[in-house]
């Protein structure tokens, strides 16, 4: 029998009982509340999502348990304006996921288009690492950062500069351009590659989902990719 799809209601819930300002800044807040369960909930970085159709609202901060059961907790966050959430059940999302990854699957009105991914040229530069990293048995202190050769090139990828001279990158031109160097996208749900000249699904925010995750999760609005 096929397991039932996990919905947004299957996420742990944090019922807010009180809000107060904390710290020295007017934008620092502390939410007190009670969790409906402890399974899948961890102290530390997380997000609390405000449930609501066609609304993407989330608070990011730190959760701290207040008793041995883990049910009573405090959530500390910084926000320019705090929404009215006392008495509401906010949805807990652990640090491994970002709120839009929930809404892109759970929200039926989220727009997707089946799209062929094309490789793009990339801009490269060598950057110093934060100390020494051991990669494939070699000590690496420098990395090659690459970005899409476009005006909106916010995402970066990093490749080690091996002392032996080996590389997994295509040739880098004298101008730092790597022809076809941005040669894959990552699925937002399983992190697999969507390689050049392969199809995936693209939303309006240019987030990619592979065809497998689209048919398994997006079509069914199934959040079981999150380990709840």
Examine residue 75 and state whether it is found in any structural domain, yes or no. yes
Summarize pLDDT for 201-210 with one digit per residue, the tens.
999 999 999 9
The count of structural domains within the chain is 3
Residue 38 belongs to a domain: yes
Same domain, 111 and 214: yes
Domain match, 107 and 218 both: yes
Asked whether residue 110 falls in the same domain as residue 26, the answer is no
Q: Is the Cβ–Cβ distance between 218 and 5 less than 8 Å? A: no
Say if residue 57 is in the same domain as residue 68.
yes
- Both structure tokens of 222: 């199934």
Q: Could you tell me if 222 and 202 lie in one domain?
A: yes
**Side-chain-side CA neighbours of residue 104 (13 Å):** 22
- CB burial of 35-56 (b: ≥16 within 10 Å; e: otherwise) equals beeeeebeeeebbbbbeeeeee
Q: Which residues contact 132 (CB under 8 A, 6 or more apart)?
A: 139, 140, 141
Query: What is the spatial distance between Cα 71 and Cα 14, in angstroms, rounded to a whole number?
Result: 9
**Any domain includes 3:** no
Domain match, 73 and 36 both = yes
93-141: pLDDT as tens digits:
998 899 999 999 999 999 999 999 999 999 999 999 888 999 999 999 9
CATH value at residue 17:
2.40.30.10
Which domain range does residue 216 map to?
Answer: 97-119+183-228
Chain-centre distance for alpha carbon 124: 24
């Amino acid at each position: 029998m096929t397991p039932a799809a996990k919905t947004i209601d299957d996420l742990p819930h944090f019922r807010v009982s009180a809000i107060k300002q904390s710290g020295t800044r007017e934008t620092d807040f502390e939410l007190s509340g009670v969790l409906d369960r402890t399974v899948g909930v961890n102290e530390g970085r997380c997000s609390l999502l405000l449930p609501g159709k066609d609304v993407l609202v989330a608070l990011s901060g730190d959760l701290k348990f207040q008793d041995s059961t883990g049910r009573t907790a405090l959530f500390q966050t910084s926000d320019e304006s705090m929404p009215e959430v006392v008495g509401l059940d906010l949805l807990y999302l652990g640090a491994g996921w970002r709120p839009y990854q929930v809404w892109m699957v759970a929200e039926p009105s989220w727009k997707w288009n089946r799209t062929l991914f094309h490789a793009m040229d990339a801009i490269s530069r060598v950057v110093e690492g934060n100390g020494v990293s051991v990669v494939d048995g070699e000590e690496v202190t420098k990395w090659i950062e690459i970005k899409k050769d476009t005006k909106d090139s916010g995402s970066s990828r990093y490749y080690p500069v091996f002392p032996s001279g080996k590389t997994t990158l295509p040739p880098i031109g004298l101008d730092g351009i790597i022809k076809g160097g941005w040669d894959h996208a990552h699925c937002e749900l399983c992190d697999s590659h969507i390689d050049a000249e392969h199809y995936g699904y693209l939303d309006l925010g240019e987030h990619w989902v592979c065809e497998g995750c689209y048919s398994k999760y997006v079509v069914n609005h199934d959040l079981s990719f999150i380990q709840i």
